[in-house]
Structure 1
Amino acid sequence: MTDSSHALPTSDRLNVWQRWPKVQSHGMAARVLLAFLATAGLFYVNIMPALVSGLIDGLGFSHRQAGLIASSNIYGAAVGALVAVFIVKSWRWKPVCTALLLALISLDFLSMWIQHPWAMLALRGVHGCIGGLLVGIAFAVIARTEQVHKTFGMLLLVQFGLGGLGVMVLPPMVPVVGAWILFLALILFSTTALLMLPFLQDYPVSQSSKQAKSSDIRRKPLLASIFAVFLFQAANMGLYAYIIDLGEQAGLSMTTIAPALGVSAWLGILGSGLVILFSTRFGRLLPLFCGILITAIATFALHFSALAWVFWLANIAVGITWAFSIAYLLGICAEFDKAGQMAALGGFASKMGLASGPLIAALLLGNTQYPLLINVAVVMLIAAALVTLYPARLLDRAD
Structure 2
Amino acid sequence: MTAYLGSKKTIIDINTTRSIIAVLFIAVAGACMFILQPVYVQGLVGYLHFSESDAGMIAAAEMFGLAATAVVTNFVINLVNWRLLTLIFITLATAGNLLSVGVTDINLLIMARVLAGLGCGGLISITFIMMGLTQRSDRNMALIIVCVLTYGALGLFVMPSVLQGFGVDGVLIFFAAFCASCLLFVAYLPCNHQMHEQVVDDVASYSRPIKLLTLLGVLAYNLAIGIVWVYMFLVGTDAGIKEQTVANILTASQILGIAGALLVVVFERRFGRHLPLLAGIVGGAIAIGLLLGKPEFLLFTLGVCAFNFLWNFSMPYIFAVLADFDARGKMVAAGVSLQLIGFAFGPAIASAMLGDANYTLVNTIAIVLFIVSAILLFPGLRVQDKHYAATGTCN
TM over 0.5: yes
* TM superposition shift of 1:333: 3.0
Alignment equivalent of 1:36, drawn from 9, 19, 25: 25
Counterpart among 58, 63, 75 of residue 69 in structure 1: 58
2:341 pairs with 1:352:
yes
Instruction: Note the C-alpha offset of 1:30.
Output: 5.7
Q: Does 1:280 align with 2:269?
A: yes
The letter for the 2-side match of 1:274 is L
The answer to whether the 8 Å contact 2:10/2:190 transfers is: no
Contact 2:102 2:169 in 1 (8 A): yes
Partner of 2:284: 295
The one-letter code matched in structure 2 to 1:207 is E
Q: Distance in 1 between matches of 2:305 and 2:282?
A: 15
Cα pair distance change 1:68/1:11, threshold 3 Å: closer
1:244-292 Cα offsets, whole Å, 9 max, x none, are 2111111111132110011111221001111222333433202211111
1:315 partnered with 2:304: yes
Deviation at 1:74, TM superposition (A): 0.6
Shift of 1:131: 2.3
Q: Could you tell me how far apart the structure 2 residues matched to 1:251 and 1:105 are? A: 36
Cα distance 1:39–1:328, how it changes in 2: closer, same or farther (>3 A)? farther
Quickly say closer, same or farther: Cα 1:161–1:395, change in 2 above 3 A.
farther
* Runs of 5+ consecutive residues of structure 2 not aligned to the other structure: none
Per-residue CA deviation, residues 178-227 of structure 1 (Å, 9 max, x unaligned), is 10122233234324544334334554244248x99xxx886444333322
Q: Is the 8 A contact 1:88 1:140 kept in 2?
A: no
Q: One-letter code of the match for 2:15?
A: Q
State the Cα distance separating 1:148 from its structure 2 match: 4.0
Residues 217, 376 of structure 2: 8 Å contact kept: yes
* 1:231 corresponding residue in structure 2: 220
The alignment-based identity, stated in percent, is: 27
- Aligned-partner Cα distance in 2 for 1:270–1:35: 18
Cα 1:345–1:189 change in 2 (3 A) is farther
Q: CA deviation at 1:82?
A: 1.1
Contact 1:82-1:133 within 8 A present in 2 as well: no
Q: Which residue of 2 aligns with 1:109?
A: 98
Task: Give the distance between the partners of 2:206 and 2:37, measured in 1 at CA.
Answer: 35
Aligned match of 1:328 in 317, 326, 341?
317
Contact 2:14 2:20 in 1 (8 A): no
Query: Could you tell which deviates more after superposition, 68-77 or 389-398?
Result: 389-398
Q: Which residue of 2 aligns with 1:89?
A: 78
Corresponding position of 1:240: 229
Relative to the length of structure 2, the TM-score reads 0.86
Displacement of 1:136: 2.4
1:380 Cα deviation from its structure 2 partner: 0.7
| Aligned CA distance change for structure 1 residues 385 and 32 (closer, same or farther; 3 Å) | farther
CA distance in 2, matches of 1:98, 1:11: 13
**Equivalent of 2:40 in 51, 56, 73:** 51
| 1:24 to 2:24 alignment | no
1:268 and 2:272 matched: no
- TM-score (normalised: structure 1): 0.85
Q: State the match for 1:118 in structure 2.
A: 107
C-alpha distance in structure 1 between counterparts of 2:227 and 2:54, whole Å: 15
**d(CA) in 2 for partners of 1:157 and 1:129?**
23
Tell me, yes or no, if the aligned pair for 2:293 and 2:360 is still in contact at 8 Å.
Answer: no
Determine if contact 1:152/1:330 at 8 Å carries over to the other structure.
no
Q: Using the alignment, how far apart are the partners of 1:336 and 1:186 within structure 2?
A: 37
The residue identity in structure 1 corresponding to 2:38 is P
1:120-154 deviations in whole A, cap 9, x for unaligned?
Answer: 10121122223223322333333333454433322
| Matched residue, 1:367 | 356
Q: Following the alignment from structure 2 to structure 1, what is the Cα–Cα distance between the partners of residues 99 and 178?
A: 16
1:119-138 alignment runs, 5 A limit: 119-138=108-127
What is the Cα deviation at residue 109 of structure 1?
Answer: 1.6
Q: Go from structure 1 to structure 2 and tell me whether the alpha carbon gap of 1:53 and 1:20 turns closer, same or farther (over 3 Å shift).
A: farther
After superposition, give the CA deviation of every residue in 1:335-362 in whole Å (9 maximum; x if it has no partner): 5556654433212101111111111111
Q: 1:31 to 1:310 in 2, by over 3 A?
A: farther
**Cα shift at 1:315:** 0.9
Counterpart-to-counterpart distance in 2, 1:165 and 1:133: 24
List per-residue Cα deviations over 1:293-335 (Å, max 9, x = no partner). 1111111011265321111111111111111112222333345
1:204 corresponds to 2:194: yes
2:50 alignment partner, SS class: coil
Preserved CA contact (<8 Å) 2:290 2:303: yes
Change (3 A) 1:171 1:344: farther
SS at match of 1:59: coil
1:140 to 129, 134, 159: 129
Unaligned runs of 5+ residues in structure 1 are 1-9
> Are the counterparts in 2 of residues 104 and 127 from structure 1 also a CA contact under 8 Å?
yes
Residue 13 and residue 55 in structure 1: after superposition, are their counterparts in 2 closer, same or farther (change >3 A)? closer
Letter of the 2:237 counterpart: E
